[in-house]
Amino acid sequence: MAVILDGKAFAAIVKEKTKDEVARLGLTPSLAVVIVGDDPASRVYVNGKKKDCAECGIRSEEFTLAADVGQEKLLSLVEELNNRDDINGILVQLPLPKGYDEQAVIAAINPNKDVDAFHMENIGRIMDGNFTFAPCTPYGVMRLLEHHGIDPAGKHCVVVGRSNIVGKPMAMLMLHKHATVSIAHSRTPDLGAMTRQADILVAAVGKPNLITADMVKPGAVVIDVAINRGDDGKLCGDVDYAPVAEVASYITPVPGGVGPMTRAILMENTVIAAKKAAGKF
């Protein structure tokens, strides 16, 4: 039976340390959270991030815009936040409603305030390995592995999913830690043949039960990044959890695995942004 990689418990430790650092620095880091429209999932995420900020001694300021506010007004808000000295981090909750150019919005954020690390400049630094802002979800995974003494060096890591925010940066961070990395996606012909090779399997797709027990090598470490709503209305990942837990050596639960780690790294990034602004980084 696999050991559970308890992201919720470790994220609480990371946030506690972040709170201590904030107190020690004597700074009040600040995060602007921009939400466009009233998507219920986005609202849950934004509320969660505001709660994390409060726990860590970070000031959060929410900007709620109507779904039809338009690209131009959104961009001018980003510009205003870029220019405000009392705002260290800017987070625009994605996905934006239909009709918005997300890439243009991300590109408009000052890279020094881009605590999600989505801006091209920060993505380039992630490729290079010498980054200031970590990609929150992939780095959360790496920290959770490290906390449990799991070293990717020399292992075969298979990442399922190739998005710019999860799959690709995940593969890069694994590569920086000397894993041999494969990336699978919707055009991978025989997904099971690929995933069965994985010592570390990262699922980041968004399809419940995509990864079944027969697709997992016995003893593999299984990381489930996805957050889906199952037919029963409950949160679930991409991994058929109970049968896979019988085969794997370690596994992340959903909820309580990668999600809380993502949020904890966002808090760390916001403190880094504040330190940079104060010349303390």
Q: Which of 207, 266, 228 is nearest to 46 (CA)?
A: 266
- Nearer residue to ligand NDP within complex by CB, 27 or 160: 160
Least gap, CB of 28 to ligand NDP (angstroms) = 26
Least gap, CB of 261 to ligand NDP (angstroms) = 7
DSSP alpha helix (H) spans, the chain: 7-25, 40-56, 71-83, 102-108, 120-128, 136-147, 167-176, 191-195, 241-247, 258-277
Residue among 93, 177, 217, 224 flagged as catalytic: 93
- Nearer residue to ligand NDP within complex by CB, 47 or 186: 186
Query: Looking at the DSSP assignment, which residues form a beta bridge with residue 90?
Result: 32
Residue among 116, 224, 238, 240 flagged as catalytic: 116
93 catalytically annotated: yes
Q: What is the side-by-side order of every strand in the sheet holding 89-92?
A: 59-65, 30-36, 89-92
197 catalytically annotated: no
Query: Looking at the DSSP assignment, which residues form a beta bridge with residue 183?
Result: 159
d(CA 265, CA 22): 14
- Nearer residue to ligand NDP within complex by CB, 44 or 278: 44
Least gap, CB of 171 to ligand NDP (angstroms) = 11
Binding site for ligand NDP (CB under 6 A): 137, 160-163, 165-167, 184-188, 191, 204-207, 210, 225-228, 258-259, 262
Residue among 49, 113, 177, 275 flagged as catalytic: 49
Q: Which residue is nearest to ligand NDP (CB)?
A: 163
- Nearer residue to ligand NDP within complex by CB, 166 or 201: 166
Least gap, CB of 29 to ligand NDP (angstroms) = 21
Least gap, CB of 191 to ligand NDP (angstroms) = 5
Q: What is the side-by-side order of every strand in the sheet holding 156-160?
A: 3-4, 250-251, 221-224, 200-203, 156-160, 180-184
Sign of CA dihedral 263, 71, 108, 274: negative
CB distance 43 to 2 below 8 Å: no
Helices H / strands E in the chain, number of each:
10, 11
- Nearer residue to ligand NDP within complex by CB, 142 or 184: 184
**How many residues in the chain?**
281
**Residue numbers annotated as active site:** 49, 93, 116
